[in-house]
Each structure stands twice: as C-alpha cells, then as structure tokens.
Amino acid sequence: MRIGPYLIENNLFLAPMAGVTDLPFRRLCKRLGAGVVVSEMVTSDPSLQNSRKTKLRLAQEPIDETEHEKFQLSHRVEPGLRVVQIAGGDAEILAQAAKMNAEKGAQVIDINMGCPAKKVCKKAAGSALLKDPKLVEEILIAVVNAVDIPVTLKIRTGWDKENKNAVQIAKIAEESGIQSLAVHGRTKACKYLGEAEHETVALVKQSINIPVIANGDITSPERAKQVLEYTGADGLMIGRAAQGRPWIFKEINHFLKHGNHMPLMEITEVANILIEHVESLHQFYGEQQGLRIARKHTSWYLKENEKDRNQNNRIFSNNFNLLTSANEQIQSLTDYFKQ
C-alpha cells in the first residue's frame, strides 16, 4: 500500500501509544518487522513545543548532546518513514503544529481522533472530536492545506455504541484530502474494554477509496489474517500486543506470507532483544528516567514470555523494580536469563 507518494514496506503499523512508542521502541519494532512506526502523540499546544518531553517524542529533531552523550547519532535516526501524530481540538493550532513538524523533518502527519483518555477528551481532542463532524472537517481541511506532505487520520468507530459514525467521518476524511485512515474497532465510550469489533471497519472500507488500516485486538498471526480477510482492510495497526513482544510483526508477516508459524524464538534471542531495549532506554532518556521506563517494559516482556508467573518470577520483578543503576538492571537481566 501507499501513503501519498510513499510505498510502504509492508502493511503492518505500530500504533502510536503515549509513554510506550518512544524512539527506542519504534526502532526495535521496525527492525523486527513493522512496516511503519508512528511517533507518540504530541500536543499541538505551541507553549509546550520546546519542552523536553515533546522534544524526546519528536525523534527527527536532534537530541541535546549534553543530556545524552552516550546516545550515538546512529541511534537518533528515525527508522523508516517519519510519521508524527498530533492531537488537539483547534483547527488553526493543529495546522500550525503540522507545519512546524513538517519543517522539522516529518514526512507524514497523523491526526489523533481515536484516543479515549479522559485528559485528552476533556480538551475536546482525541475521540471526543467524533461528536462534532463539522469541527472534524474544519480540522482536517486546515491541516491538509497547511502542509505539502501526506496527512493521515486515526479514529474510533464512534462516540458510543448508539452513535457509531465512523463511515460519516471516513467520507469527510476522504473529501478533505486525508491519505489513509486507521480505525480502532471500539467507540470512545468503550475505552479498551471488551472485544474490538471490525464490522464497522469493513463498512468504512466499503465506503471510501483511500487506504484503511484496521486496529484493535490484533494479538496473533491468526487474528491478523482473519481481520484482513473480514474487513478487506489495506493494513493492520498493532498496539498493546507489541508491548513485551515487539517481534509480533515478524510473526504476522511470516504467517501472512507462508501460512504457517515461524519457529519459536530461542530464549537467548529474547534476552538479547530485552537487554538491548533496556540499554537503549538508559541511553535515550538518561539513567534515572531510563531506569523507571525500563521497569514497565521489562514487566511486559516477562508477562509475555513467562505465562506461568511463578513465585521466583514475581520475586525477580519486585527486586528489579528496586534497582537504582543502569548497570544493576543489565546485570540483573543477564543473570535472570542465565537461569
């Protein structure tokens, strides 16, 4: 599939997840089979554009050498297509944010109208915008006209189960010049509860001609194939299923191509991936912040790879969360996998 002039390596997308899909995680998922990786959602608020948090999320902008001396230039390069997701509820401000990011190196601007988080929706942003199709149209036209790079959109199926308007929003998006549309198979009210439904995604695909990407509960190669066949979607977007399992993209690509499962990963390969990930977090954020972020990622890896959470595993996790240096975390993981 294509997004504007860009031919996508494959049709698997890493979903943007605030606090998760930072540059180290994007680089890892790209190397392990994702066709496109999308930045964490960044605010369109101009007063926050120069904050450290926003700068770290905008990988195409060079990182301050004084804060990250160990993070080599090669590790600061965004992998593949540089897609930046922006959020907000004001058309003019979003247009300005899109233009700024394009000037800083973004190749695609993605607009978030899918986040169900209260702190986002209370500002009339994210999936809260689906309640106001007129404002949606105003925002999309403003952003598309502000930049000369492709603009994409991510939405949910609607506001709640009684008000599913994804098809209406999809048609507005296509008419406004949006280049591709990702649809999460839940409403804003559903948050992440229950199972995602893809009937609405299939209806969206039938109603527009731009590429449609299905998102929601794509947790296995079999599920990926089922959703593609059922919806007719052009691509798949994977979010929470990649936490602690970034190689899920490789597994799905193999299954879609060959119709069977790739061999199970050796424990040494899992160890190498996790340790590399933790080291890159230390380097990217600096030791103290990197330590905190490494804890949640490590917990996800252990839950994924140790289905039977035995007492020893729980003890390891508790002890790991108390470590106070990068060297201690790496040594602890090395010892864990040796056992």
* DSSP string over 230-279: HH--SEEEE-GGGTT-TTHHHHHHHHHHHSSPPPPPPHHHHHHHHHHHHH
In this predicted structure, what is the pLDDT of residue 201?
97
Neighbours of 10 (CB within 10 A): 17
In this predicted structure, what is the pLDDT of residue 120?
45
Per-residue CA distances from 21 to 39, 62, 86, 242 (Å): 6, 18, 14, 10
Domain 2-258: top CATH class: alpha beta
In this predicted structure, what is the pLDDT of residue 144?
98
3-state secondary structure of 98: helix
Q: Are 173 and 209 in contact (CB under 8 A)?
A: no
Question: Going by DSSP bridges, is the β-strand pair 2-3/6-7 parallel, antiparallel, or unpaired?
Answer: antiparallel
Residues 6+ apart with CB under 8 A from 105: 60, 61, 78, 82
| H or E element, residue 184 | strand 181-184
Q: Note the helical H segments in the chain.
A: 23-31, 52-57, 91-103, 118-121, 133-146, 166-176, 199-207, 221-231, 248-258, 267-285, 287-305, 311-320, 326-338
Q: Are 78 and 59 in contact (CB under 8 A)?
A: yes
Q: CA Rg, the chain, in Å?
A: 20
Q: Given the residues 29, 115, 121, 190, select the one marked as catalytic.
A: 115
- How confident is the chain (339 residues) per 10-residue block, as mean pLDDT? 93 94 94 94 62 55 46 60 91 94 92 68 63 94 97 92 92 98 90 89 98 97 98 97 96 97 93 96 94 95 66 82 96 93
pTM: 0.88
Cα separation, 158 vs 178, in Å, equals 18
115 is catalytic: yes
